[in-house]
Amino acid sequence: MQEFYKKALVALLLLVVADALLACIFMYQSYPAFTLLPAQRESARWHYRTYSDVATGGSSSVRLHAATRERLRFDFSLTGQAPYPFVSTELVLEDRKGRQAHLDWTRYDTVTFLAKCAPAGSMIVVISTFDRKISTPGDFQTYRSPGTYFSCNEQGVPVSLDIKRFALPEWWFEKMKLDLSDRAYTLDKVAKIVFGTSATRPRNVDSYLEVTELTLRGRDYRYIAALAAVVLASWLGFAAWFLRAHARALVASVDCKIKKDLPLVAYRQLTLEPYKDKEKASVLRFIATNYTNPELDLDGVASETGANRNKVNEVLKAELGMTFTSYLNKLRLTEAARLLAEKDGAAVAEIAYAVGYANVSYFNKLFKEEYGCTPKAFRSLATPAA
């Protein structure tokens, strides 16, 4: 059984290590991320556009720095000529052939980026998403465009925004003739992302905005559920294997134990063997014929055979390599094993008393130490000796 337990321990350690590795992989996968800047070469790319209030009578200016895959930066200056001064830069998604593209962002919850600007203040970010019911492809004014504000300064402000809690502007509802309560939007067809000025930006001041490390982040709980299912299945599988393997190992151990103790089953033959040392023969004969007596002890053997205590232990050590107590328990437990295998109708307590144990609990303890299982389990596992 020791060999089995070693193998089971190794299997358990391997299972723990495997589950730990799977947990790391699944937990990592449960946090999906998609980097928008620096732009991914293998996916849709950005087409940069700038807008200002010139179309509404204003004179605000905006200048986009050379478009790169690493960052977005534009310089601007707002004037007060238009009713609502503004400038913005759009990152419009296009496929490799330069056609408008839509991306599914439903698996993401948050957009993060590093925002630098001067002077310090607030800016706005807007996501434009196609609505199948009301949007016209390519006409961004018909797209739902929820947005929110963020802060920035010259040192750079790490920004994290919940993209599922942006707000739609009221003017858009009036333009599209929609009820103000219809504020729901989906992110399954995102077409562009816009960075622009807020109404609090100062007028006639040279300003700039720089955005880097633009990344979408989310949480996919399907990986957590899958991890739980995999771990549960692996542990159930290990438990099933352990129980079956333990039963097989226990049967093999019991069978080996019985075969090993067969010479002791024939303990009576020991009394018939010729011994030149009559004292030795007397000691062995007396123990072999009186071991079922629950009162039998070392002093009793010495008294009945005329040998002293040291002589009794010396004889047992020389002949069997055991002490008196070990040999006495060996005889009793071996006989108990034989009776358990051969007498299905006999109760465990009856057999315990028959072999010399007055205390059934003590008998069960010794038997389990000797055979690795309880007397009842032994009876179900053991093959009756021929």
Q: Calculate mean pLDDT across residues 113-133.
A: 96
Per-residue pLDDT band at 216 (split at 50, 70, 90): very high
Q: Identify the pLDDT of residue 386.
A: 39
Dihedral sign for Cα 339, 341, 342, 347, please.
Answer: positive
pLDDT at 44: 57
pLDDT bin (cut points 50, 70, 90) of residue 338 is confident
- 8-22, 244-258, 342-356 — which is least confidently predicted? 244-258
Cβ atoms of 145 and 168 within 8 Å: the answer is yes
Q: Please count the other Cβ atoms lying within 10 Å of the Cβ belonging to residue 190.
A: 22
Q: Are 326 and 291 in contact (CB under 8 A)?
A: no
Structure tokens at 35: 């980097």
Mean predicted confidence (pLDDT) in 81-92: 92
Q: State if pTM tops 0.75.
A: no
Name the pLDDT band for 385 (thresholds 50, 70, 90): very low
Check pLDDT > 80 for residue 4: no
Residue 268: pLDDT band with limits 50, 70, 90: very low
Question: What are the tokens at 74?
Answer: 């534009």
pLDDT band at residue 305 using 50, 70 and 90 as cut-offs:
confident
The CATH number given to 266-381 is 1.10.10.60
- Asked if the model's pLDDT at residue 275 lies above 50, the reply is no
pLDDT of residue 287: 83
Query: φ, ψ for residue 145 (rounded to 5)?
Result: -130, 75
Neighbours of 386 (CB within 10 A): 3
Half-sphere exposure of 11 toward its Cβ, with a 13 Å CA cutoff?
15
3-state secondary structure string, 330-363?
Answer: HHHHHHHHHHHHHCCCCCHHHHHHHCCCCCHHHH
Using alpha carbons, select from 377, 337, 373, 370 the residue that is nearest to residue 355.
337
- Across the chain, mean pLDDT equals 86
pLDDT value of position 185: 95
Give me the residue spans of the domains in the chain.
33-219, 266-381
Does 259 have pLDDT greater than 90? no
In this predicted structure, the answer to whether residue 383 has a pLDDT above a threshold of 60 is no
What pLDDT score was predicted for residue 334?
Answer: 85
Rounded Cα–Cα distance for residues 237 and 45 (Å): 47
Cα distance between residue 175 and residue 152, in whole Å: 31
Report the pLDDT averaged over residues 351-357. Answer: 90
19-38: average pLDDT: 91
pLDDT digits (tens, 9 = 90+) for 219-256: 989 999 999 999 999 999 999 988 888 777 776 766 66
Mean pLDDT for the stretch of residues 180-198: 94
Per-residue pLDDT, 254:
65
Higher pLDDT, 85 or 287: 85
Per-residue model confidence (pLDDT) at position 158: 97
Greater pLDDT, 62 or 246: 62
Q: Is the pLDDT of residue 257 over 90?
A: no
Per CATH, the number for 33-219 is: 2.60.120.430
